[in-house]
Amino acid sequence: MAGTLYVVSTPIGNLEDITHRAVRVLSEVGLIACEDTRHTRKLLNHYGIKTMTVSYHEHNERERAVELLESLESGLDVAIVSDAGTPGISDPGFRIVRLALENGVPVVPVPGPTALISALVASGLPSDEFFFAGFLPARSGQRRTRLLELSSIPATLVFYEAPHRIAGSLRDAREILGEREAVIARELTKLHEEILRGRLSELGQRFSSGEEGRGEMVLLIDRNVIEGAARESDASEISSIVVALEAEGVDARSALKKAARKLGISRDEAYRRLTAERSREKG
Ligand code: SAM
């Protein structure tokens, strides 16, 4: 009989945020595969869990998944955990789950914290439909292209973000998505938990100094453009959209056509606005 692979959620900051079931499963399995064994050991010590651990992270995921499968096939129950929250959510986990399922090994989730859900439910933005897009690309050109792809999704957009990139992401989001309500949820469940709400431009100003970019954070953006603000910004918006597309290798004609379609205006009108914007920039 093969063992079972348990996908176990652990705290995202506050050690109390772990279920009774997670503690029991972590105590009873034969092996815990951790992103960072030293990090997880602190949690295990806190709950008096003595189970053996092994590392399973993005650099050894492929080989380690095969070894874990062998353990599972020999009958050992294995739990997988990440440094924080739910494995497989912007963290390793997917590969071993796939491999286990392909080989007939049962996979059982042990649910618990994940930063995106905690952020969403406290954000005050609609939670009926949301789109989790993980981390945005680090480089501005690719980030803008990605934002453009996401711009027409009728759902709250949720991103994980690094402190040193938040100012750039807010600036690009404001330019590509237009003015929208946004929320930054940082250090959730920790001592300095803070939930900041405002327009993209307001949050952008706050973070552009760089001083505020500390801690772990989730960025959430409303699905709707704020009406009046959208009109004020149409001109700069079209230029940003065209620049983002051109940076990805789209030729000037097609970039203008796509930008016009996105803004719901004719190509002539798009061209007129773009020219006006560019001559303003030059003058
Ligand atoms: N697997 C994790 C989960 O289920 O949330 C996410 C891991 S991902 C590598 C780390 C990112 O999650 C951080 O950069 C941040 O965006 C977000 N995050 C994790 N803990 C957080 C917290 N306590 N407060 C806010 N964001 C957090």
pLDDT tens, 179-201? 999 999 999 999 999 999 999 99
Residue 115 Cβ inside 6 Å of ligand 1? The answer reads yes
5-113: CATH number: 3.40.1010.10
CB 89 near ligand 1, within 6 Å: yes
Closest CA to 35 of 13, 74, 73, 8: 8
Domain 5-113 identical in fold to domain 121-141+155-221: no
CB 84 within 8 A of CB 10: yes
Q: Is 60 exceeded by the pLDDT of residue 283?
A: yes
In order, the DSSP letters of 235-272 are: HHHHHHHHHHHHHTT--HHHHHHHHHHHHT--HHHHHH
CA 131 / ligand 1 centre spacing (Å): 16
Tens of pLDDT, residues 206-254: 888 666 668 999 999 999 999 777 555 555 678 888 888 888 888 988 8
Beta strands 181-186 and 5-8 are unpaired
**Top mutation candidate among 218, 219, 220 for ligand 1, by most atoms within 8 Å of CB:** 218
Mean pLDDT of the chain: 92
CATH architecture of 121-141+155-221: 2-Layer Sandwich (3.30)
CB 235 within 8 A of CB 277: yes
pTM: 0.84
CB 11 within 8 A of CB 113: yes
Every domain of the chain and the residues it spans: 5-113, 121-141+155-221, 234-282
Q: Atom of ligand 1 at shortest distance to CA of 190?
A: 23
